[in-house]
Amino acid sequence: MEHVLSVSETRGRLTSLVQQIAERGGEVIITTRDEPMAVLMSYRAYQRWRKRQWSQARVQFEELLSSAQELIEITLEGSREAGDSDLYLFWHNFKPLAEELWQAALEVSEGHTLITSMLLDVTLMVLDGDAPLQPEHLAVLRRIATDLLPRPTLTADDAAQAHRLLVEGGLRTVFPVEGDLATLYEEAMR
Amino acid sequence: MSEDLRIFLDTTIQIERLTGTRARRAQLTAELTGKEIVTSTYVLGEFLRTLVKDCITLYTLVSQNVHLDDVEVQIANRFNKREASRCLLLWASLHRARAYGREKVLHTLRTYIEYGLVQAFMAGVDQVSDATDCGLARERPRQVEGTYRLRAQCRREVKECRLEEWLATYSAALDGAAPHLLASNEPGLVRIGELLGEFPHTPEAVRGRSCTWYLGDLIIALECPADAALYTTNRRHFGVLCAQLGKRMYERKTL
């Protein structure tokens, strides 16, 4: 059951509220100036909620990943050589997918988040650049999308492997910076 | 030689009808006027995955760049010669339509993509044959995320045409043509010969990139009706294919 209490009402009753919720379940919505600001729930309920969240995120992530894999496969089947316009359209169509993948990955795991964040950076850099478009770049993405990202758990080591694959495949994952970062930061803050 | 009264247009001529110089387009109009004009859904599929897709590429490039000169630089730097040259032809037709400013260019490209190009493909055409029943020929660009998407690539694992069954009806003619194609100096014709060799054992080998990259000219030559002359700018491939398949090619008139 759901109760609504203000912060001041909660303050004096926190110990008994925690005990009550832990034993009988339910939720308390805590408000500040009548605005709902936080929720008090049992740790068991929180764990169930997190698990449900993770499962939903995982399903969404898998759906997005499958769309990304299909886009990569179709483009690889269609593009003949470097400089094919299919490759430009690919990166353009991949960008919103990469953004959604990264958003979904935030709920999946740190490794998934790191790798999808790299894919998004790479996509933005390819679109911002003016180097010839290469089909080999998509082969690297395919490897990451089929070998790494479908795994249920990914570690920082896996992210490092993805980074290596991207760099070896000629895809930069860091925006090129002219001058030192400290000066740039100072200029940006001025 | 009697004058051809039925003319089958291949993709190169369909593209030239739209992107050729003024003189060339006038010549084509004169040549085709009064004739029965035939083309096919397979040709339409090729037209979609070349000129219409190029138009989508241009639209995307223009919508992503504030300055049109940056679009030209991107075409020059990022695309290969074949693709850049097709984009340049479209760029020229935009200027011919008096589209110079960015907004006008985007507007004109939108009309090209949404109906203009396919309408121009059909202009003056009396018959569109549908021998292969190609699913991709029925696709049209759809608006997604501020640009357009067009499903244009055939995939081997997805069967959405009757290409295999239709080709099988020509097995005797194809068996006869294969050795001549394999002996050719043209790598594209040799690849067609190789695929014809594979076809009886693995019919699905003709789908996917085999269909869109290699077999197109063979399919178009086969589609050309017996009483029509095939009109193409690619005489290098079609000359050999038509000779092997007993088809006639349209001889361009000097006007």
Q: Which candidate from A73, A85, A131 shows the least CB-CB separation from B57?
A: A85
How much is the pLDDT for A177?
61
Residue B164 falls within a domain, yes or no?
no
Residues in B closer than 8 angstroms to A74, CB to CB, are 153, 155
Query: Is A74 at the interface with chain B, CB within 8 A?
Result: yes
Burial class of B199 by CB neighbour count within 10 A (0 to 12, 13 to 18, 19+): buried
| Nearest residue to B164 via CA among B201, B127, B129 | B201
Q: Catalogue all structural domains in chain A, each as residue range(s) with its CATH number.
A: 2-41 (3.40.1620.10), 53-168 (no CATH)
Q: Which two tokens stand for residue B45?
A: 């599929």
- Smallest Cα–Cα separation from A88: which of A142, A135, A145, A141? A135
pLDDT tens, residue by residue, B77-136: 999 999 999 999 999 999 999 999 999 999 999 999 999 999 999 999 999 999 999 999
Indicate whether A187 pLDDT > 80. no
* pLDDT, tens only, B171-227: 999 999 999 999 999 999 999 999 999 998 888 989 988 888 899 999 999 999 999
In this structure, is residue B63 part of a structural domain? yes
B254 falls in which pLDDT band (50, 70, 90)? low
Q: Taking residues A126-137, what's their average pLDDT? A: 88
Query: CA angle, B73 as apex, B81 and B59 as ends, to 5°?
Result: 85
Task: Kindly list the residues from chain B whose CB atom is less than 8 angstroms away from the CB atom of residue A83.
Answer: 78-81, 83-84
Interface test with B, best of A69, A74, A77, A85 (most B CBs within 10 A): A85
Structure pTM?
0.84
State how far residue B26 is from chain A, nearest Cα, in angstroms: 30
Q: At what angle do helices A135-143 and A85-105 cross, to 10 degrees?
A: 20
If one counts the domains in chain B, the total is 1
Q: Tell me, what's the pLDDT at A176?
A: 61
Task: State the nearest Cα–Cα gap between A177 and chain B, in angstroms.
Answer: 22
pLDDT band at A28 (very low <50, low <70, confident <90, very high): very high
Per-residue pLDDT tens over the stretch B25-76: 999 999 999 999 999 999 999 999 999 999 999 999 999 999 999 999 999 9
Q: Is residue B209 part of a domain?
A: no
Q: Does A131 touch chain B if contact means CB atoms closer than 8 Å?
A: yes
CA distances from B58 to A92, B63, B71, B109 (A): 12, 8, 8, 8
Q: Are the C-beta atoms of A169 and A140 separated by less than 8 Å?
A: yes
* Structural domain boundaries, residue B69: 6-154+226-249
Checking if the pLDDT of A100 tops 50, the result is yes
Report yes or no: A80 at the B interface, CB cutoff 8 Å: yes
d(CA B194, CA B199): 9
- pLDDT for the residue numbered B191: 95
* Chain-chain contact of B78 with A96 (C-beta, under 8 angstroms): no
Cβ of B142 under 8 Å from any chain A Cβ?
no
pLDDT tens for residues A48-90? 998 998 899 999 999 999 999 999 999 998 887 899 999 999 9
Say what the pLDDT of residue B2 is. 54
User: Which of A176-180, B16-20, B171-175 comes out lowest in average pLDDT?
Assistant: A176-180
Rg (CA), chain A: 23
A185 touches chain B (CB under 8 A): no
Q: Where is pLDDT greater, at A160 or A186?
A: A160
pLDDT tens per residue across span A103-121: 999 999 999 999 999 999 9
Rounded to 5 degrees, φ, ψ at A5 are -135, 150
Q: Does B209 touch chain A (CB under 8 A)?
A: yes
- Using a CB-CB distance cutoff of 8 angstroms, which residues of chain B are in contact with residue A82? 80
Q: What is the mean pLDDT of residues A147-153?
A: 94
Q: What is the pLDDT of residue A151?
A: 95
B214: in domain: no
User: Residue B73 is nearest to which of A83, A85, A130, comparing CB atoms?
Assistant: A130
Shortest Cα–Cα distance, B209 to chain A (Å): 6
pLDDT given at position B71: 94
Task: Give yes or no for residue B1 having a pLDDT over 50.
Answer: no
Decide if the complex's ipTM is over 0.90: no
What percent of chain A stands above pLDDT 90? Answer: 72
In a domain, residue B198? The reply is no
* Average confidence (pLDDT) over A160-171: 92
Range A141-179 burial, b when 16+ CB lie within 10 A, else e: bbbbbeebbeeeebeeebbebbbebbeebebeeeeeeee
